[in-house]
Structure 1
Amino acid sequence: MSSATTPRRSFVERFQSLDYKWLVSISVIFGLFMAVLDATIVNIAMAKFQAVFGATLADAQWIITAYTLAQTVSIPIFGYLADRYGTKWIYIISLGLFTIASMLCGLSWSLGSMIFFRVLQGLGGGALMPLGLAQVYAVFPPSQRGLAAATIGIPVLLAPAFGPTLGGYIVEYTDWRLIFYINVPVGILGVFMCATILRNDNVNANAKIDLPGVLLSTLAFASLVYGIGEAASDGWGSTKVVGFSVFGTICLVLLIFFELRSADPLLDFSLFKSWNWTSANLITWIITFALFGALFLVPIYLQSLRGLTPIQSGLVLLPSSLITVIALPLSGQVVDRFGPKVAIVIGLATLTLAGWLLTHLTLTTPTLTLQLWLVARSIGMGFSNQPANVIALSDIPPQKLARASSFFNLMRQVASAFSTSFLATYVQDQAKPHFAHLAETTNPSSPMYFYVRNAVSAAALRGENTLKTQALVVKQLVGQMQLQASIMAYRDALLLITVFAAVAVVLSLFVGNPRGHSGSAEMVME
């Protein structure tokens, strides 16, 4: 008896047989992951950069600031270029620039050269997220936008958690240059896949560059992001922060005025007439506040207050990062079956609950308990973050996806800069009154007073210098009070995040489930 046997197909044949939408998703994921990873992995190496280049912390901080500013100003410009010359090739050019700049950063011989190459890297990185998102949304039908959001959301949420761990390992055990070199092979593979797999999309040959929009958006968002970013170190009342923030706000007002009157605006502020767009932006700003707030606060809590190394703190955060691999596909299924509104309500409610649990953080909170709280937080982020993207872009026709996605990501970029700076200053400001209150409670009837008196008495019995012993014990107690004041300030910040998340839950109840538009998932290919 004979039977026909089906030859086993090779990996390449199975890969080529995938639907085009999956090929697009796989192709752009490389750029998305690198863009988000690079924004977090470099932070951990700041002390190393200071030592290598002999720079102060303020000077070395420009390695991060230069990248952020370049990324911010390039986002809207790349949206126009993609509209005019095609998303595929503009994305490939930006990914290629990011990859080459990464290699040059690794070859840096001075702080000045590093900052210059980081500017180039930021210019390339600014297009990766919005254009990658636009290409994926363009090839998925409206009924599968949740699945599309989940697909690209995995690298977006995983990268910030893996960045500090990977960066800490590289700095501690290998050469710091690997932080940048690691992007090169991934970028080359991404460029090759995009060039060979992605199809040419329609271009708008009549699109004209909006020069007032380019100039005003560059001045507005660069000034705002820089001014807000400096608030973490200089304070909100400093001349630099106030000056740049006021100038940026003036430029933003002028930008809105000119763009609303432009026939072909660089940034279409009329999109805010759509409730889906406006509500999704508001929810995304709150989610960004919660996401970057925890990414900023929890690692510092683990390292500064609990004494863990960057690698150890990264391992504590690892389970909550891995859970997103499960949460995102589930949220995608909920979006496609019940609509993004249901997923967002579930996600924000879970995020609020997790935030409330984190407000009970102490210096002795068991690691397992903290990990469970962070897992709940990651589930909330997985169910709320990407569905907000679906709602924001639901009413956007395919030919405008590149610009709208760029605008949406630009808003997120500004929100992330504000979140980090605001929480940094908020924690510092809150710690001071908490320390003062703890100091006031130290009186002859307090346990700390008895502890000092007993320690001095024991030193006297041993024949030791009692004044020296008293100074040492008091110094230790002051250190403990500072730690306690810091953890109280952290709880205040986490409570504030929780309040905003609760507000977002209420807001999400008024979000509409967008209807799919006929043909909105199609792009005319050449």
Structure 2
Amino acid sequence: MFAFASMCVGMFIALLDIQIVSASLRDIGGGLSAGADETVWVQTAYLIAEIIVIPLSGWLARVMSTRWLFAASAAGFTATSLLCGIAWNIQSMIAFRAAQGFLGGSMIPMVFTTVFAFFQGRQRVAAAAIIGGLASLAPTLGPTIGGWITDNFSWHWLFFINLVPGIFVTIAVPALVKIDEPDWSLLKGADYLGIVLMALFLGCLEYTLEEGPRWDWLGDRTILTTAWISGLAGIGFLWRSLTYKNPVVDLRALKDINFALGCFFSFVVGIGIFATIYLTPLFLGQVRGFSALQIGLAIFSTGLFQVLSIPFYAYLANRVDLRWLLMFGLALFALSMWNFAPITHDWGGAELLFPQALRGMAQQFAVAPTVTLTLGGLPPARLKLASGLFNLMRNLGGAIGIAACATILNDRTNLHFLRLAEHLNIRNESMAAFLNEATTHAVTMNNEISDGNAAALKQLWALTMREAHTLTYADAFLAIFVCFVIAVPMVVLMRKVAPPSAPSADAH
């Protein structure tokens, strides 16, 4: 149990660092004298590196063993966290964040597979509930913890907080985790071409998804180039993985209906988790003008309700068919998004409490049963390679969800602004009264009628744009709602996973 807990600590800090900088990018950019276009790469570099290494982690664990790969990853993650905290310019920060994401990403899938090596029966269900909770809780809490640290200390401590748990994991895992042995002979027949194709495919895809909304997608030459590289490399990677004898990613596992559907549900849940983590802080900062700490406090309820739901899930998971719990979790997520949709410009922590409480419970009931239903039915020999693909789908769903929501925010804001502006004409008595009052106030302050008229029109434009932004956020939440509505009825296609027999010592 202590061995598993030490690995969970490593997974948690790796997942936490995905979003811990999201509410503090402005502070990091200011501290490193970098513009917004450069600062966004503090998060993008981490995501690109992480999404490349996650599917590789299964093969690497077979080569080095779970024990030593996890320990080496934790040591490297700790060292690069220190380097991020002492970064001297934006270029060094981006390089260190990429290394941090690569080293941290390899820890995540290994925790999912160790559940099936350490635990049996009801203990396995409880352990799956814990890692499912941590997998969705860590990125959810990221903006809250990051905002609090930045407001009370400095952005440097966003990275320094990893040092103590990172050192602990580096020491504890080699001493406690002994479930398999390294097999260095796998390096001889490794599919290095497949690794290169996969890195190009995922790296360029992540870059395209992250930067596309900001640079008009295929209208930008760089985005067009990376999209083509990703598409061609992706086709080559699929061909190579399905024809090579020992591929680095086990795509053949998708023949298993539970695994294929589980990857799909992981993808959809990734959209829900990461897209809402992206939208909610952005709304609170852009529309409400909240500080990093205020944003963190306003969205804290999601994590709180998820933690509170863990014991309820653990109790039900041993008594109710996991497929029903999964269906409930996906439906609850859809209900949460539906309750986000009536959002108005004055929503804060109080108004967000109920939909975020639903989302917190939904994350627990959607992620945990997916882990057991997807991975629990696979033969132990295929578990490592398949786990990387399963975890990749969650992160890929998040990347695509964020890109889609960013595109909605860019495109729909102008549409809503023009629709609202159509009603702002001389026949609108409310608008005329507002302009008269705003002009009078401005004239009183400046004693210039022309300045008063300009100030009133500027204020009207700002209010109209604020409402257009708010309506666009509602559109984005409804788009996520549709994804979950599609996913819910597909749960019935999954088959029930029987309690597995005990694996051998090297089965993991």
Task: Give the TM-score normalised by structure 2.
Answer: 0.93
- Partner Cα separation in structure 1 for residue 374 and residue 340 of structure 2: 29
Check if 1:72 corresponds to 2:51.
Answer: yes
- 1:172 to partner: Cα distance: 2.7
- 1:264-343, aligned counterparts within 5 Å? 264-343=246-325
What amino acid sits opposite 2:191 in the alignment? D
Counting matched residue pairs gives 504
State the AA in 2 paired with 1:467. S
CA distance in 1, matches of 2:81, 2:383: 28
- Are 1:436 and 2:415 counterparts? no
Partner of 1:502: 485
Q: 1:76 to 1:475 in 2, by over 3 A?
A: same
Letter of the 2:145 partner, please give it: L
Distance 2:240 2:32 in 1: 44
Of 466, 485, 488, the residue aligned with 2:449 is 466
Percent of residue pairs bearing the same amino acid type: 28
Give the whole-Å Cα distance in 2 for the aligned partners of 1:455 and 1:62.
41
CA distance in 2, matches of 1:462, 1:154: 55
1:192 aligns with 2:171: yes
- Structural mapping, 1:410-429, within 5 Å: 410-429=392-411
For the pair 1:487 / 2:464, whether they are aligned, the reply is no
Structure 2 residue ranges without an equivalent (≥5): none
Give the counterpart of 1:400 among 364, 382, 396.
382
Query: Is 1:93 paired with 2:72?
Result: yes
Q: Superposition RMSD on alpha carbons, in Å?
A: 2.2
1:7-54 CA distance string (max 9 Å, x none): xxxxxxxxxxxxxxx223311111111111111112233222322222
1:138 aligned residue: 117
Q: How much has 1:96 moved relative to structure 2?
A: 1.0
- Change in CA separation of 1:280 and 1:307 when aligned onto 2, cut-off 3 Å: same
Q: Which region of structure 1 is more displaced relative to structure 2, 330-339 or 199-208?
A: 199-208
Aligned equivalents of 1:63, 1:370: Cα separation in 2: 28
Is the Cα contact below 8 Å between 1:227 and 1:241 reproduced in 2? yes
2:133·2:363 contact (CA, 8 Å) conserved in 1?
no
Query: Which segment is superposed worse, 79-88 or 270-279?
Result: 79-88
The answer to whether the 8 A contact 2:136-2:367 is kept is no
Give the TM-score normalised by structure 1. 0.90
Answer yes or no: is the 8 Å Cα contact 1:231–1:422 preserved in 2: no
Supply the AA of the counterpart residue of 1:415.
Answer: G
Moved more, 314-323 or 341-350: 314-323
CA distance in 2, matches of 1:206, 1:461: 82
Paired letter, 2:261: S
Paired residue for 2:197? 216
Q: Deviations over 1:402-431 (max 9, x none)?
A: 221112112222222111122112112111
Amino acid at match of 1:423: C
Structure 2 CA distance for partners of 1:357 and 1:427, relative to 1, 3 Å: same
What secondary structure is seen at the aligned counterpart in 2 of 1:448?
helix
1:233 to 214, 218, 236: 214
2:86 aligned residue (95, 107, 112): 107
**How far apart, in 1, do the equivalents of 2:262 and 2:50 lie?**
22
Alpha-carbon distance in 2 for matches of 1:525, 1:381: 29
Q: CA deviation at 1:369?
A: 3.3
What do residues 237-281 of structure 1 show as CA deviations (whole Å, max 9, x unaligned)? Answer: 222223212211211111111111122111111111111011111
Given that 1:202 and 1:525 are in contact with CA atoms closer than 8 Å, whether structure 2 keeps it comes out as no
Relative distance call for 1:502 and 1:145 in structure 2 (3 A) is: farther
1:4 alignment partner in structure 2: none
1:512 counterpart = 2:495: yes
User: Which amino acid counterpart does residue 404 of structure 1 have in structure 2?
Assistant: A
Partner of 2:30: 51
Distance (Å, rounded) in 2 between the aligned partners of 1:87 and 1:176: 33
- Separation of aligned partners in 2, 1:465 and 1:81: 71
Q: Which runs of 4+ in 1 moved over 6 A?
A: 457-463
Deviation at 1:339, TM superposition (A): 2.9
DSSP 3-state at the match of 1:473: helix
Distance 1:274 1:180, change over 3 A: same
Deviation at 1:151, TM superposition (A): 1.4
In the TM superposition, residue 80 of structure 1 has moved relative to its aligned partner by 0.9
Shift of residue 64, structure 1, vs aligned partner: 2.1
Q: Which amino acid aligns with 1:153?
A: G
Change (3 A) 1:265 1:360: same
Change beyond 3 A, Cα 1:51–1:265: same
**Deviation per residue, 1:106-156 (Å, 9 max, x gap):** 222222222222222122112111012211232222554431221123332
How far apart, CA to CA, are the structure 2 residues paired with 1:396 and 1:427?
40
Within 2, Cα distance between the matches of 1:519 and 1:279? 25
1:192 is displaced (CA, Å) by: 1.9
- In structure 2, distance between residues paired with 1:525 and 1:416: 31
Rounded to whole Å, the distance in 2 between the matches of 1:247 and 1:226 is: 11
Contact 1:359 1:494 in 2 (8 A): yes
**Gaps (5+ residues) in structure 1?**
1-21
